[in-house]
Structure 1
C-alpha cells in the first residue's frame, strides 16, 4: 500500500485489495469521494495502525529507521493475524511528486499463506544458479546458513561461498537485505 500524508491509501496492489477485501480484521474504508483509509475491526487495533502511520508521516519521518513501524493485526476469523510493516518515503519519491505523492509504504502479509519465489525469475533477473536459487529461497524464513547447508547436504563453507556469490549477483551485502529482496519478488499462495 502507498499512503498519503493524510493517512489515505493512494495505491493498493491486487494482493492488498484481495486481503483487505476479505474484511477479516482489516479493510479499506471509503469516504465517498474516491479516497479510502485502512480501517481495523477494533478501536484498539485502529489506534495502533494510526500511531504507526503517524510515526511514518511525522515531519522528522526520515529519522525513523526504515520499516521500524510494524504490528500484527488480529483477524476477526481467529486465523493468524496479518503483519503490517511500514516505512516513510521521501517527500519526492519514485511513486510521485508534489502534495499528492505517497509519503509512506505499508507491506501487508498473511502468515496463513506461504511465500513462493519463482526460481526461474531469480535466474533471469540475477543470473543465479539453481543451487543459489534454492539457498536464497531457503534463507527467507529466517534460517541460518548452517541449518540450510545441513538441509541441502552441503558443507557450511560451500553454502557461505554460494551466499557470497548471491550477494555479488544481487547487489546485496547482508542476509537481511537478501531476504528483503526475495520477499519483494515473492507471491503468496493459499
Structure 2
C-alpha cells in the first residue's frame, strides 16, 4: 500500500475542512477507504449528550451488525486506548486479556479491520476500515502505519467539530437569554455600526421614532443634537477611556423619550471588528412592564388583596381609590399597605415602588 504525497496532502486538508463542515465527512471517509483499498469504511461520530451517532460510510455496504448495533460496537472499541491505531486482532486480544469472551467469527462487523478510537467520550467516536481478508491486517501492515499518521488529524478535526457545536449551543443560549429582557440591547462599534440587536431593539429602531438604523447599518438618533451626543457617548465607551453615559432620545410621535444607556464592553475583544465596541441598553418608557401578580405572590407572599393594593401604589393611586376598588374602608386598605411593607421589608411608598419595578423586570 502506498499513497502519493499530493493525495496525502489533499486528504489531510479534507479532514480539517470536515472539522468545520460536517457535510465533508462523507468525502473524507470515501477518500480514506479508497487509499487503504478497504472493502468498506465507516466513521462513527458519537454525540454523547444525545446518545446518538452520525455515521459516514464508503465502499460496499457496511455489515448490518456494525450499523444496527452501534452502541455495542462502540463499547467494544472503547477498550482500545484513544488515538491508538490497531487491528481487530488487537481488539480481540485486549478483550481476551480482560477475561471477556471475543467471538472472532461474529464480531459485530469488526473482523479483518483497521480500527482507531478517536475520542474519550462514552460512547466513543471511531474509524473502522474493513479489508478484503485477514492477510491485509496480519503482521501490522503498512496500512497500520498510514493510519497512525492520519489519527492525530482526525482527532483534532473531531475536537474542532465538538468545540464548534459547543460554541453554537452557548451562542443559542446567550441569544435566547437576551430575548427574555424587556429592554432593547445592541452592540455597536465605535463609529456606531450595528453589530448585534435583540428583537426588542430591532422593533424600536424599525419604528424610526427617535432611534433608527440606516441602510448602511449605522445607528442614528434624532434630532441632530441628540445624535451628536449619542455618538460622543459611543466613542467614549468604545475607546480606552471606557466612559459610560445616558441620553434621552426625543420621539417625533410625542411619546416619552427613549432612555439609552451606553456602556463599554468588558474583556479583550481581540483585533477584529469587535475590538472597539460598546453596549447600548434602550428603555422604552411607553412599554415598561408591570409586575406579574403571580411574581408578587411567589416572591413576597402577597395575598390577592395585597397584590391589588401594591399594583395601585405603583400606578400612583391613592388609598381612597384603592378602597373603592376593593370595596373596603380606607382603614382596611391602609392595613393591607402595612402588611405589604412588612412582607417586602420596605417602609415608604417610594421604596415599595422601586421594589415593584425591579419585580417587573423579573416577571416572565
TM bracket (short chain): 0.5 to 0.7
Aligned residue for 1:130? 304
More helix by share: 2
Quickly say closer, same or farther: Cα 1:23–1:126, change in 2 above 3 A.
Answer: same
Distance in 2 (alpha carbons) for counterparts of 1:60 and 1:46:
19
Report matched runs for 1:1-190 at 5 Å.
1-4=185-188, 6=190, 7-29=192-214, 31=216, 36-54=217-235, 56-57=237-238, 59=241, 61=243, 69-75=246-252, 78-86=253-261, 88=263, 91-92=266-267, 98-99=269-270, 100=274, 103-111=278-286, 115-124=289-298, 127-141=301-315, 143=316, 147-153=317-323, 154-156=332-334, 158-167=336-345, 174-175=351-352, 177-185=354-362
Distance in 2 (alpha carbons) for counterparts of 1:166 and 1:10:
40
Give the unaligned 5+ runs of structure 2. 1-184, 324-331
* 1:74 Cα offset (Å): 2.6
RMSD: 3.9
Aligned residue for 2:96? none
- The answer to which structure, 1 or 2, has the higher relative contact order (CA under 8 A, 6+ apart) is 1
Distance in 1 (alpha carbons) for counterparts of 2:236 and 2:228:
12
Quickly say closer, same or farther: Cα 1:87–1:138, change in 2 above 3 A.
Answer: farther
| SS in structure 2 of the partner of residue 106 of structure 1 | strand
* 1:13 Cα offset (Å): 2.8
- Cα deviation, 1:110-153, whole Å, max 9, x if unaligned, reads 53x57444323444566543344334444445x3xxx5434322
Distance in 2 (alpha carbons) for counterparts of 1:54 and 1:160:
48
Quickly say closer, same or farther: Cα 1:25–1:164, change in 2 above 3 A.
Answer: same
Quickly say closer, same or farther: Cα 1:8–1:118, change in 2 above 3 A.
Answer: farther
The answer on whether the counterparts of 1:167 and 1:178 sit within 8 Å (CA) in structure 2 is no
Distance in 2 (alpha carbons) for counterparts of 1:119 and 1:151:
19
The two structures have a TM-score, normalised by structure 2, of 0.35
Distance in 2 (alpha carbons) for counterparts of 1:44 and 1:184:
31
Q: Flag the structure with larger Rg.
A: 2
Distance in 1 (alpha carbons) for counterparts of 2:342 and 2:194:
38
* 1:85 Cα offset (Å): 3.6
After TM superposition, the runs of 4+ consecutive aligned structure 1 residues lying more than 6 A away are: none
Distance in 1 (alpha carbons) for counterparts of 2:298 and 2:198:
24
Quickly say closer, same or farther: Cα 1:69–1:21, change in 2 above 3 A.
Answer: same
Distance in 2 (alpha carbons) for counterparts of 1:12 and 1:139:
34
| SS in structure 1 of the partner of residue 230 of structure 2 | helix
The two structures have a TM-score, normalised by structure 1, of 0.59
Distance in 1 (alpha carbons) for counterparts of 2:200 and 2:233:
21
